[in-house]
Amino acid sequence: MKRAHSETFYIDLYTQMLKIRLIEEHIANEYSKGYMRCPTHLSIGQEAIAVGVCNCLKDSDYVLSNHRAHAHYLAKGGSLKKMASEIMGKAAGCSSGRGGSMHLVDLEKGFLGSTPIVAGTIPIAVGVALASQMKNEDSITVVFLGEGATETGVFSESLNFAALKNLPIIFVCENNFYSVYSPIQVRQAKNRDRIKIAKAHGLYAKKEENGNDVLKVYSSMQDSIEVMRENKTPVYLEFDTYRYREHCGPNVDDDLNYRPKKEYEYWLKNCPISNFEKFLLKENKLTKKDLEQFKEEISLEIKKTFEFAKNSNFSSFNLKSEEKIYS
């Protein structure tokens, strides 16, 4: 369905994606200095899905995520100050400095948490949707997952239960084609169709191959919400995308040669941010001067925020208290 949008709408989408990109690039550049001690999974290259999906949601809607959670957390309105503090193990962190990069939460914004366990939040999200339904809330639950999570037993069980109970939940699959170093073709049969699997369980299912086009993501998500509300059915929504960095860590790891060079170059050219910049310039929705100003303002905010986090107090939780609990 074609929708009319304000000038502010386009700029908001752009600045949100840009902010996520610049934050994660800052993390990557600073990571080797050792003050961020937790593992970190960056979503550089995948920003359009988080931003396109979450801009369709209200504060009262719920989101759950996985190990690659920064973009989802920030797009749902999570605090950069709390996220930066969390990654550094500081008390001001969104999980009081005890969880790190993969355990982000902001209850006020409806971001109920993330976990490193593959597919671990899928059944939790189904439980959240069930509770929301039982309380007659006008809320949607969204759970982000990778294509690797669709290989787990709990994925099928969750789809089945969600369809059985007609739950207000949308499963958003970010297919970046790799699980660590393993491409999808060595993990899933060639004729395995995740859309057909979701439909067979009774869900409305849709695939958008260009998950790096934020407008297509937004439109697909809006359509899915309408179908979910009209038909009282859960939704499975899948987007193709690509991570530019290594699975876990700050580095570019293409020297390992596990991803074909042409494939990597194709997705670099399909960058969600640079392509949206070109669109906005072509449509005269902003100027090159605007772009530079946005980058300067966001970069300054990031610098100040990370300085705040570095100068904050560490979490008071300590190993001695933990030893007492488990002794």
DSSP 165-229: TT--EEEEEEE-SEETTEEGGGTS-TT--HHHHHHHTT-EEEEES-TT-HHHHHHHHHHHHHHHH
Residue 303 placed within a domain = yes
252-278 b/e (C-beta count within 10 Å ≥ 16 → b): eeeeeeebeeeeeeebeebbbbebbbe
Tens digits of residue pLDDT in 20-61: 999 999 999 999 999 998 999 999 999 999 999 999 999 999
Instruction: Tally the domains of the chain.
Output: 1
Measured over the CA atoms of residue 267, residue 270, residue 271 and residue 272, the dihedral's sign is negative
The pTM of this model reads: 0.94
Placement of tokens 């969104």 in the chain = 94
Domain with 96 in it:
7-250+258-326
Run of H or E including 266: helix 261-269
Beta-bridge partners for 65: 114
Residue 276 placed within a domain = yes
Residue 2 placed within a domain = no
Q: How many CB atoms lie within 10 A of CB 126?
A: 25
CATH number of the domain where residue 82 is located = 3.40.50.970
Tens digits of residue pLDDT in 264-320: 999 999 999 999 999 999 999 999 999 999 999 999 999 999 999 999 999 876 444
Residue 1 placed within a domain = no
Residue 153 placed within a domain = yes
